[in-house]
A = this chain, B = another copy of it.
Amino acid sequence: MKLATPDRLAQSAARLFQERGYEGVGLSEILSAAKAPKGSLYHHFRNGKSDLALAAAHFASREMLRIIDDAFTPAENYKDGMTTLFHKSAKLFDIMGKWNGCPVSGILLNGSPNPMFRKTSEMIFNAWISRVKEHGQRLGLDPDEADTRATHLFVVLQGGWDLARARGDSNVLRRLPDLLAQGL
């Protein structure tokens, strides 16, 4: 099925920003990847590249939430869900050519001090953490511990992805859940 133009643009932008960051990708490249002319971009995204970046970040966020749900929904306890999440992430890392990063931090880390970028990345990261927290509570953790564990998980996944990227090797990601499981 063929996506509508705005979605095609957001998806292509997300993929390219993951590879080389917000400032590292030109509009022309995104346009040709999405097979859309410049007129369409500025019709659907009034503020051009920056609006497109926000849409791309939201697109990637939805994908991440889906991965979280896929890992935790069939799990019998928090530790299992967490372990599955890290293994799914490692697999994703390999599929993506061992080179891509999180598009959300790819936008956050680069964009000039654009306050909208910062606010959006905060929102998205918090959404990921509270989704993990919900799963944790559903699996029997009390609210405080679920929150702590979810934050810890986020932080380790984010940092672990960077290390995997630098090493070009997803094995770090697979070894991390054991560290997080202490006390469960």
Contact = CB atoms under 8 A, between A and B. Distances in A.
A154 B118 CA distance: 24
Nearest to A164: B155
Contacts of A165: 108-109
Interface string A150-168: 0110111111101101111
B24 A118 contact: no
User: How many chain copies does the complex carry?
Assistant: 2
Interface residues of A, number: 42
Q: From DSSP, what is the main secondary structure of chain A's interface residues?
A: helix
Interface in A120-176: 121-122, 125, 148, 151-152, 154-160, 162-163, 165-168, 172, 175-176
Contacts of A122: 166-168
Contact of A20 (B110, B155, B156, B179): B110
Interface string A7-21: 000000000000111
A162 to B, nearest CB: 5
Contacts of A167: 122, 125
B118 A168 contact: yes
Contacts of A175: 151
A110 B21 contact: yes
Contacts of A154: 159, 163
